[in-house]
Structure 1
Amino acid sequence: MIQSDTARNVINFVLFQVGWFACVLYPGLGAVGLVVLIVAFHLAFISQARMAELQFIGAGVVIGGLLDGLWFNVGVMDNGVEGFQLTPIWILGLWAAFSTTLSHSLSWISAKPWLPFVCAPVAGPFAYWSASKMGAVELPDLTLSLAALAVGWLVVFPLLLFIRKTLYPELVQ
């Protein structure tokens, strides 16, 4: 296990970025395989509470996957699939990689109770907009899509932090 908090946070940030770009640029099973390796490395060398963090990552994948599945099925996002669709596996990979950051490189966002409510509705939609510019997804009605994503992130991001704090207090630094 890596002992330095700074080193763990920097490595966590870099690994998340690698996972994000892999999933967005090459959406599919290969990118998800890379994310599985990233999460395994994270649990082996960065996490200080492996089982709790694995459970939290699972919660993040389920909650994020449900939200993004909703967005695909109501037309906020589009990936060219007709009819009802499940959240694409590469987006679940993104949620897994993102969930690793909440106890490490993004843990600072919990320092002030209001900060997640300010950052989430901006940073979350920005990530989706960036992914759309790279061709991973489409935002059919840009204004409506970004507004819906902002509201979703305004709910989901603080919810994930609340879950981490209440169910997995050993993950709070």
Structure 2
Amino acid sequence: MIQNDTLRNSLNFILFQSGWFVCVLYPGLPAAGFVALLLAFHLALVSQHRFVELQFIGAGTVLGGVLDGIWFQTGILDDGSGSVQLTPVWLVGIWAIFMTTLSHSLSWIGSKPWLPFVCAPVAGPFAYWSASKLGAVELPDMPLSLIALAFGWLVVFPALLYLRKFLYPELIR
């Protein structure tokens, strides 16, 4: 395990960005497998509370996967096939690798109570919009999709930080 906080946060950021780009550029089961490998590196080199963090990652991945599933079911997101589906496995992978950032490279967002409410409704939809521009997902009705994503992230991101604070306090630095 890496002892230096800056190095751990930097590696966490690199692992997340690598996972996000692989999942978006090559959406599918192999991308999710790549994320599993990145999670193993994260747990081995970055995490200081592996078992607790793995629980937190799992809880957030389920929550995020359900939220994305709702967006697919309601037409906020589309995979381009036109059929209603469950959350694609590569998008579940993005949730898993994203969850690692909440206790490391993005932990600073929880330092001010108002900050998640400002950052999340902008950054969340931006990630989906970026993925749509790279061809991984479609936003069928761009304005409606972005508004729904902003509202969803306004709720889910602070909820994840709340979950971390009260159920997994050892992950807060």
Q: TM-score, normalised by structure 1?
A: 0.98
* Structure 1 position 125 matched with structure 2 position 125: yes
Please give the secondary structure, in 2, of the residue aligned with 1:86.
coil
Q: How far apart, in 1, do the equivalents of 2:164 and 2:81 lie?
A: 34
Q: How far apart, in 2, do the equivalents of 1:82 and 1:128 lie?
A: 18
Please give the secondary structure, in 2, of the residue aligned with 1:138.
coil
| Alignment map for 1:1-173 (pairs within 5 Å) | 1-173=1-173
Structure 2 unmatched ranges of 5 or more:
none
Identity %: 71
Matched to 2:125, the amino acid is: P
Q: TM-score, normalised by structure 2?
A: 0.98
Over the residues paired in the alignment, what is the CA RMSD in angstroms?
A: 0.8
Matched to 2:91, the amino acid is: I
Offset from partner CA, 1:69-101 (integer Å, 9 cap, x none):
000010001113455421000000000000000
Please give the secondary structure, in 1, of the residue aligned with 2:140.
coil
> How far has the Cα of 1:143 moved from its partner?
0.3
Please give the secondary structure, in 1, of the residue aligned with 2:127.
helix
Q: How far apart, in 2, do the equivalents of 1:94 and 1:81 lie?
A: 20
Structure 1 unmatched ranges of 5 or more:
none
Please give the secondary structure, in 2, of the residue aligned with 1:165.
helix
Matched to 2:69, the amino acid is: G
Please give the secondary structure, in 1, of the residue aligned with 2:151.
helix
Please give the secondary structure, in 2, of the residue aligned with 1:159.
helix
Offset from partner CA, 1:85-133 (integer Å, 9 cap, x none):
2100000000000000000000000110000000000000000000000
